A and B are shown apart, each in its own frame.
Chain A
Amino acid sequence: MEGSKPKLKLAIYWAAACGGCCVSVLDVHEKLFDVVAAADLVFWPIALDIKYKDVEEMSDSHIDVTLFNGAVRNSENEHMAKLLRKKSRILVAYGSCSHLGGIPGLANFSNREEIFRRVYSESESTVNPSGLRPLVETDVQEGKLTLPDFFDDVRSLSQVVDVDYFIPGCPPQTERLLEVFTAIVSGTELPPKGSVIGAGTKTQCDECTRNKTENKRIKKFYRPWEVKDDGVTCFMEQGILCMGPATRAGCGYRCIKGNAPCRGCYGPPAGVPDPGAKMMSAIASIIDEKEPEEISRVLEDVVDPAGLFYRFSLPSSIIRRKLL
């Protein structure tokens, strides 16, 4: 349209991700019309047939905003992270994987060799008598075939390239995305670079409306299915581990509203470098035992502390991978 503001150029990309983040964008439903009225989608592999080559041909900073979801697991992810950084004015790490490493980041309990051995040799359903493994390059009659190189280590987006903003969540709440999008379109002054946007600064507990008392004294932890949740009392007070005390607010405590404890996908609140360490601190404070043997007995119910406390954040936590 003549005289009107040029439309925003928007790109969405998935790296090591499940696809849920892209679906969360689609969850804008009919608001999508508002989005496309204000922005042109120039690259979005899940929805548009635009090739990497086309992105490579764009001029630098051609894209106004890129929502990058997924962690960096292989050389293709890394290439696209660097390419989209170059081609985008604002690069947003969208979703837990991109923000903190996410579920794919749990692979940092292992390495390439261990994962390949499990997948291509040991798993119960594998039939691979000749011990084939994927190769980065394979010569065939027609020429050379290539596959992305699988890294030893999973990284979050900001561990690979410079990131402007982070939108947390697994997936991020679509309402929050719309707020951010509206802010960008309306030209509101954007928060300082490196901010976590589309979320609060305090913890889940700060928003959660379940009844909480000072009297948190736990002698045994339970798995959610072992307790008949009354639907109103704080999960921690019922002995169910809930990541709320160490998790950033902003999702509207949706899991808790659905009677499931928080799993921590929004990452640590503002000013906290490591959600797991904070969670360990919180849990230790509520165990109602003083003798080492008794405390250890209570802690036996925390079967997998590393996996539980760092479910979404292992690659970006203080001890970011297992020592093998």
Chain B
Amino acid sequence: MEFSPKIVAFLCNWCSYTGADLAGTSRMQYKSNVRAVRVMCSGRIEPTFVLRAFKDGADGVLICGCHPGDCHYQEGNYRCLRRFLLLQKYIQQMGIETERLKLEWISASEGKQFAELVNSFTETITELGPCRIRESMKV
């Protein structure tokens, strides 16, 4: 059977989730591999969430927030960016390919960009194949 990746997407309520919603209401087709989790702000996404996603079997994790300067809470997305860059360093050390974790800014009007992002990210993860970290961690 062809590999169909499991992708967890954390979307901020104010921009990215609304952007994803726009893609839906505009009847845009995009890959169904993404499981969207709505959070109030990308600054709410703790590293724990991302690591848990990988632990529980995600092949890729997508984080989306408002464009820099547009955060509903002033600077949540900057915190998200810093955590993301630190997480990238960490997951690489743990043997998870950095391509499996992606951060993109999606505004509420960028439905099309969201659909394209999901398609391209799904393609990247499909090429990478399943993430083996979950299996390797069995006690």
Contact = CB atoms under 8 A, between A and B. Distances in A.
Nearest to B55: A318
Main secondary structure of the interface of B (DSSP, over half): helix
Interface in A298-324: 299, 302, 304-307, 309, 318-324
Interface string B78-92: 110111011101110
A306 B93 contact: yes
A318 B93 contact: no
Contacts of A273: 48
Interface string B39-64: 00000001110011011000000000
Given A318-B55, A323-B132, A302 B89 contact: yes
A306 B94 contact: yes
Interface in A277-293: 277-278, 280-281, 283-285, 287, 289-290, 292
Contacts of A322: 93-95
Given A277-B46, A284-B79, A306-B90, A318 B52 contact: yes
Interface of B: 46-48, 51-52, 54-55, 68, 75, 78-79, 81-83, 85-87, 89-91, 93-96, 132-133, 136-137, 139
Interface of A: 109, 153, 155, 159, 273-274, 276-278, 280-281, 283-285, 287, 289-290, 292, 295-296, 299, 302, 304-307, 309, 318-324
A290 B78 contact: yes
A216 B27 CA distance: 46
A321 B96 CA distance: 11
Contact of A319 (B55, B79, B83): B55
